[in-house]
Structure 1
C-alpha cells in the first residue's frame, strides 16, 4: 500500500469509475485537490485497489477486494491510525468489500447501511414551492455562516479546510427569518468530478414549512447552472430524508455500507 503524490491522484480515476454509483463525492473532492486528503494504492502507476481519505477521518476503499497484500497493509495502517484515537469512518465500494472488511476487522468496527440516490431531471418538480412571508433566502456567505446554528465555521473547517475554500469551490442557500436567524440551510458538503453532494438541515421549530424543499430546488438549479450532478446520500432509516429526496427527483436508491470505529 503506497501513498500517492497529489500530482498522481488522477491515476486512481479508472478504479473510481468502476464504482461510480457507490463512490462518495468526497473521494472526488480529494482526487481533484479541492480538499486536502490522502490517497493510497497498490501500485503508483496502474492502481487496482485504493484507499482514499479526508483529513477529518472519512475514507473510501474500492477496487480489487482480493488483493491480500493491500488488505493486510490496510489493516496494519488502521491499527496505527486508531492508536492515535483518530476518527475512522470507512465507505465500502461493494458487497464483496463488506465481506472483506468484516473478515479483516472481526467486530472491531460497526457496520451501518446507507442509500445513494440517482438524480433524474424528469422527476424534478416543475412547480416550485413559494417562500412564506417573514422569511428571506440568502446565499451562504461568511456573514450567514456566523449567524448559523448548524453549518457553522467548525463545519466548513471540518469538511472544506475552511470557509475561504468553501466559498471558492462550494455553494449553498439558507432561509433567514425577520430576527436574522438562520432557520434552514442547504449546502454542498463536498464537490468534485462534476458532482455536488447536498447537506440540508432545518431547525425543528420550523419543520413542515417547506423550507428544505425550496432550498433543495435552489441547490439543484445551481448545480444545473454549473454543470454539476446533484448527489443525495442518507442513512437507510432516515425516513424524512428519503421522502424529501423523492420530492426533489432523487430515485433508485442503492444500498451500501459504511463502517465506523468503535
Structure 2
C-alpha cells in the first residue's frame, strides 16, 4: 500500500481499507510512515487486506481480514504470504494472534510457517449499572 493507492477511490469498497487503517492508526500518514500492508483485488472490490496493526521495535502485529463474499478463495492467504515475506525481507518479526476457536486463522498462520508463542485467556463480563 502506498499514498497513491490509499488516495484512490476506484474500488467499490474503498472505505473497507480506510476503515481498517483508521481502526489502528491515528492518521493515514502514520500508517504509511511506520506500517505497511497488502490488498487483494477482485474486479473493482478489495477482497482482502493484511496490514501492520501495531508495531513495537521490529515486531509488527498482523491484522488480516477478507470480505465475507471472498472468503475461502485464498485471497487472505495471498495477502498474508506477501506480508510475511516482506517482513522477512526487511528484518521485521510478524506477530499474529487470534482466538483459539478461529481455526481458519490458525491454519493460515501455520501454513505461513508461524508458530504459537504463548496462550492467554481473555475474560468478558458485563457491568450492570444501577441508578
- Does the alignment reach a TM-score above 0.5? yes
Please classify the TM superposition score into its range, dividing by the shorter chain length.
0.7 to 0.9
Q: How does 1:102-181 map to 2 (within 5 A)?
A: 139=1, 141-143=5-7, 147-153=13-19, 155-178=20-43, 180-181=44-45
Q: How does 1:8-47 map to 2 (within 5 A)?
A: none
The answer to which structure has the higher strand fraction is 1
**Runs ≥4 residues deviating over 2 A:** 143-153, 155-158, 257-262
In structure 2, runs of 5+ residues without a counterpart are 127-131
Q: Secondary structure at the match of 2:83?
A: helix
- RCO (CA 8 Å, sep 6+): is it higher in 1 or 2? 1
What do the CA deviations read for 1:106-152 (whole angstroms, capped 9, x no partner)? xxxxxxxxxxxxxxxxxxxxxxxxxxxxxxxxx35423687435343
- Native 8 Å contact 1:174 1:184 kept in 2: yes
Q: Secondary structure at the match of 1:255?
A: coil
CA distance in 1, matches of 2:80, 2:123: 28
Q: TM-score, normalised by structure 1?
A: 0.42
- Native 8 Å contact 2:60 2:95 kept in 1: yes
Q: How does 1:154-233 map to 2 (within 5 A)?
A: 155-178=20-43, 180-233=44-97
What do the CA deviations read for 1:138-175 (whole angstroms, capped 9, x no partner)? x354236874353434x433321111110111100101
Structure 1 partner of 2:129:
none
In the TM superposition, residue 261 of structure 1 has moved relative to its aligned partner by 6.4
Question: How many corresponding residue pairs?
Answer: 122
